[in-house]
Amino acid sequence: AKVPAIIEGSATLIADNYAFEDIGAHVAEKLRGLLANGEYSMVISKERLETKLSTDLKTLSGDKSLKTTSNIPALPPMDYSPEMFIELIKVSFHHEILENNIGYLRFDMFG
């Protein structure tokens, strides 16, 4: 029952946040079309939805890095020491420089 809302939310997130606006709008429109055509009507598990949505996102966008995840980090305690802030930064922010001056930056949580 939650699948239509998840697909609609995904389409909105991509349209609003994808790096290339025209591609984001195209992917969002196509996702909504797949939902309307019943492509997600047979999805009955979280794992199957994650797999199908990731496959559709990659196919529609041509971006092999665009995918879904259910990775939810545990929230740290609220009373931080200076040492804890340093450790939190180390485990929460990841970056990598790839070929052709392309960078990968991942934030696992925000303060």
Reported pTM:
0.61
Alpha-carbon distance values, 87 to 76, 83, 96 (Å): 11, 6, 19
Task: Please give the pLDDT value at position 69.
Answer: 80
Q: How many domains are there within the chain?
A: 1
Q: DSSP H helical segments within 1-111, as ranges?
A: 3-17, 21-36, 46-61, 82-92
With 90 as the cut, is the pLDDT of residue 55 above it?
yes
- Do the domain assignments include residue 72? no
What is residue 93's predicted lDDT score, i.e. its pLDDT?
77
Residue 48 counted as domain residue: yes
Average pLDDT of the chain is 84
- Mean pLDDT highest for which of 28-42, 72-86, 92-106? 28-42
- Tell whether the model's pLDDT for residue 8 goes beyond 90: yes
Q: Are 32 and 8 spatial neighbours (Cβ–Cβ below 8 Å)?
A: yes
In the predicted model, is pLDDT for residue 108 greater than 80? no
Q: Which domain holds residue 12?
A: 3-61
Residue 98, in any domain of the structure = no
Please report the pLDDT score of residue 109 as a whole number: 66
What is the rounded average pLDDT of the residues 18-36? 92
Asked if residue 94 is part of any domain, the answer here is no
